[in-house]
Amino acid sequence: MTKSLIYTKSGDKGKTSLVGGTRVKKTHIRLEAYGTIDELNSFIGWLNCEVKGEETNNFLSFLQHKLFTVGSYLATETEQISPKAASIITDEDIDRIEKEIDKIDNSLPKLNRFILPGGNETASRAHICRTVSRRAERNVYHVANEFPVMDSILKFLNRLSDYFFVLARYESHKTGKEIYWEQDNL
């Protein structure tokens, strides 16, 4: 019988290893942070299944690759070893998101009311990505309170939620179904 490459049994007692070798509980803040990054990455994949447009599909794929980079960084004991180059988010990565946000935002009508998540399937998926990216950002700030975290990672995560907000608006406007919050509906 050959040994499985899928399961190792080393985590059966509620611990896992960081890149660097330290064993930590599976409830460790680093694991919560990179687990949420992984969740976000999965939701982006789900969003990308619905998006129609090669340019947006390619950008979402770029984000997925960068989130894998972020997860790798967060799994590394940066206080003990230097992260590999493949685990670094650069200023160019952040600039690329900002340019995409500006491009989409400039194509939309000015926002003068609060919007509710929804409108259509694609917009709803983008809103889920937006809210999960906000949670991921909060979780990474918890890590940054105790361990070194590069500023570029924090900026990247902050821009992600902004990107998904404008993408959701863009997708809603394709079908004319942006939903506005109306205080009178309370």
| Contacts with 33 (C-beta within 8 Å, 6 or more apart), sequence order | 74, 136, 139, 140, 142, 143
How many C-beta atoms lie closer than 10 Å to residue 67's C-beta? Answer: 24
Q: Which of 8, 153, 30, 147 is nearest to 78 (CA)?
A: 147
For residue 154, give every residue at least 6 positions away whose Cβ sits within 8 Å of its Cβ, in sequence order, or none: 137, 140, 141, 144
In angstroms, rounded to a whole number, what is the distance separating the alpha carbons of residues 157 and 39? 14
Number of Cβ within 10 Å of residue 103's Cβ equals 13
Looking at residue 83, its pLDDT comes to 66
Confidence at residue 176, expressed as pLDDT on a 0 to 100 scale: 74
Per-residue pLDDT tens digits of the chain, which is 186 residues long: 666 665 455 545 566 555 555 665 555 678 789 889 989 999 999 999 999 999 999 999 999 999 988 988 887 776 666 766 767 899 999 999 999 999 999 999 898 888 888 889 999 999 999 999 999 999 999 999 998 899 999 999 999 999 999 999 999 988 878 777 876 655
What is the pLDDT, as a whole number, of residue 7?
A: 47
Question: Cα separation of 177 and 186, whole Å?
Answer: 20
